[in-house]
């Protein structure tokens, strides 16, 4: 049975911008203007530690078909996390006025009502010059918690990485076809695109320290992106008033593991992960992706014969090209582990805090090291 050809457009993936939207989302309509205005004022209001009171004073949130659901999800997610983590005391109940529209919009976009990577990164930037790529120097953040260069830069680095990944993502359909057909020349061309894309992603990743200081990240950026699952601050989860029969809900926090880039490249290259809690966590992270992007990753997993084709080939250049891609993916994960040590583990030790759990609610150092090591094992 012939495999159906993968078409990027079927999965909301752009050949030019990858998982980022190709065109800017429209601005919010006036329907819930007070809500969007409060979100814009978070850098000022958050300092007061009374954000819940401001939310409860807002007029009721109204259905708004004119504003893109992802714009609404971004606003409600930022307000939700400001309410959760920006109060003078940790809360375990989200007010009905926020909880109900947040849950409704979350259902519309196909993700849990929590701040996840798409709202934090993919749909949280604008280009300065719309005719140029979404690279550093041509992008700015739309929504902040506290604001400042460190918070902006942390998110912008991820936006740039997403933009650089487009070259690899657009190569995947033709790479899959070439692998199925035994087209060695086509495979080499596709692998070259993936390799160049990974080189660019790694170059961007290396720039994180330029404007994002580890101390500022740990004390001002990270606290707002935690989730409610495996979080000792809310061990029983959080109640969304008026929703889920008011049974506590627990969701993972925002993390780069919710991006589709690395899972897509894992699937393409045949990088396997041992069946253990780590793999279960990686699969769980897909619940926080844009649903179409999740389906894209799954489609690659189901159809990629690339590793098998390289393994059975006697062409040394083909194997070198494949190994070069795997090595750059390894370097990407190794740098992520290095930053976790510098930006979190070391900072936590200096602040005499627990270092065991990351924003996604996992033993992050252990998991990141295992990600890295399993990638290295894929080299031939």
User: At residue 353, does pLDDT exceed 70?
Assistant: no
Q: Contact, 241 vs 99, CB < 8 A?
A: yes
pLDDT single digits (tens) 167-225: 999 999 999 999 999 999 999 999 999 999 999 999 999 999 999 999 999 999 999 99
> What is the Cα–Cα distance from 316 to 326, expressed in whole angstroms?
15
Provide the residue ranges of all domains of the chain, joining segments of one domain with +: 8-376
Q: Contact, 222 vs 151, CB < 8 A?
A: no
Give the relative orientation of helices 364-376 and 316-340 as an angle to the nearest 10 degrees. Answer: 170
CATH topology classification for 8-376: Methane Monooxygenase Hydroxylase; Chain G, domain 1 (1.20.58)
Q: Give percent of the chain with pLDDT exceeding 90.
A: 82
User: Per-residue pLDDT averaged across 252-272, rounded?
Assistant: 96
Q: Is 371 helix (H, G, I), strand (E, B) or coil?
A: helix
Using 50, 70 and 90 to split pLDDT, how confident is the model at 374?
confident
Using 50, 70 and 90 to split pLDDT, how confident is the model at 274?
confident
> What is the Cα–Cα distance from 354 to 42, expressed in whole angstroms?
28
Give the residue among 366, 360, 375, 117 at the shortest CA–CA distance from 266: 375
Q: pTM score, two decimals? A: 0.95
| Chain mean position to CA 27 | 22
**Rounded to 5 degrees, what are φ and ψ at 259?**
-80, 150
Using 50, 70 and 90 to split pLDDT, how confident is the model at 60?
very high
> What is the Cα–Cα distance from 281 to 339, expressed in whole angstroms?
20
Taking the CA atoms of 25, 287, 102 and 149 in sequence, report the sign of the dihedral they define.
negative
Q: Is 160 helix (H, G, I), strand (E, B) or coil?
A: helix
* Residue 355 confidence (pLDDT): 47
pLDDT single digits (tens) 131-155: 999 999 999 999 999 999 999 999 9
What ranges make up the beta strands (E) of the chain? 93-94, 125-127, 139-141, 239-240
Q: What is the DSSP string of 81-128?
A: HHHHHSSSS--SEE-HHHHHHHHHHHHHHTS-SS--HIIIIITSEEES
Among 97-101, 255-259, 272-276, whose mean pLDDT is lowest? 272-276
User: At residue 91, does pLDDT exceed 70?
Assistant: yes
**Rounded to 5 degrees, what are φ and ψ at 127?**
-80, 145
Q: Give percent of the chain with pLDDT exceeding 70.
A: 96
> What is the Cα–Cα distance from 21 to 23, expressed in whole angstroms?
6
> What is the Cα–Cα distance from 110 to 335, expressed in whole angstroms?
31
Using 50, 70 and 90 to split pLDDT, how confident is the model at 101?
very high
User: At residue 1, does pLDDT exceed 50?
Assistant: no
Q: Which DSSP state fits 313? A: -
Long-range Cβ pairs for the range 273-281 (8 Å, 24+): 273/370, 273/371, 273/374, 274/374, 278/367, 278/370, 278/371, 281/257, 281/360, 281/362, 281/367
> Which helix (H) or strand (E) element contains residue 69?
helix 69-85
Structure tokens at 332: 């990407």
């Amino acid at each position: 049975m012939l495999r159906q050809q993968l078409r990027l457009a079927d999965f909301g993936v752009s050949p030019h911008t990858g998982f980022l939207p190709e065109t800017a989302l429209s601005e919010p309509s006036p329907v819930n203007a007070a809500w969007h205005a409060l979100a814009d004022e978070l850098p000022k209001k958050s300092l007061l530690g009374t954000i819940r009171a401001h939310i409860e004073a807002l007029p009721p949130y109204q259905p708004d078909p004119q504003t893109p659901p992802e714009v609404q999800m971004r606003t409600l997610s930022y307000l939700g996390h400001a309410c959760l983590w920006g109060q003078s005391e940790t809360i375990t109940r989200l007010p009905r006025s926020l909880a109900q529209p947040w849950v409704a919009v979350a259902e519309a976009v196909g993700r849990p009502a929590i701040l996840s990577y798409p709202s934090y990164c993919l749909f949280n930037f604008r280009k300065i010059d719309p005719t140029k790529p979404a690279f550093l120097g041509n992008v700015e953040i739309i929504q902040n918690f506290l604001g400042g260069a460190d918070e902006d830069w942390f998110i912008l680095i991820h936006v740039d990485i997403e933009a650089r990944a487009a070259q690899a993502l657009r190569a995947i359909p033709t790479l899959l076809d070439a692998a199925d057909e035994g087209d060695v020349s086509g495979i080499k061309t596709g692998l070259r695109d993936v390799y160049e894309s990974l080189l660019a992603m790694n170059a961007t990743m290396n720039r994180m320290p330029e404007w994002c200081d580890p101390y500022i990240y740990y004390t001002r950026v990270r606290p707002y992106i935690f989730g409610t699952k495996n979080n000792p601050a809310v061990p029983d989860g959080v109640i969304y008033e008026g929703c889920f029969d008011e049974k506590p809900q627990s969701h993972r926090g925002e993390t780069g593991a919710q991006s589709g880039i690395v899972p897509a490249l894992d699937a393409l290259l045949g990088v396997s992960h041992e069946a253990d809690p780590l793999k279960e966590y990686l699969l769980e992270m897909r619940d926080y992706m844009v649903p179409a992007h999740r389906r894209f990753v799954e489609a690659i997993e189901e159809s990629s014969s690339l590793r098998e084709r390289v393994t059975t080939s006697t062409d040394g250049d083909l194997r070198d090209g494949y190994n070069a891609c795997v090595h750059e993916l390894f370097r990407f994960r190794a740098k992520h582990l290095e930053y976790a040590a510098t930006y979190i583990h070391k900072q936590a030790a200096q602040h005499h805090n627990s270092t065991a759990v990351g924003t996604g609610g996992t033993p992050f150092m252990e998991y990141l090291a295992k990600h890295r090591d399993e990638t290295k094992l894929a080299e031939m």
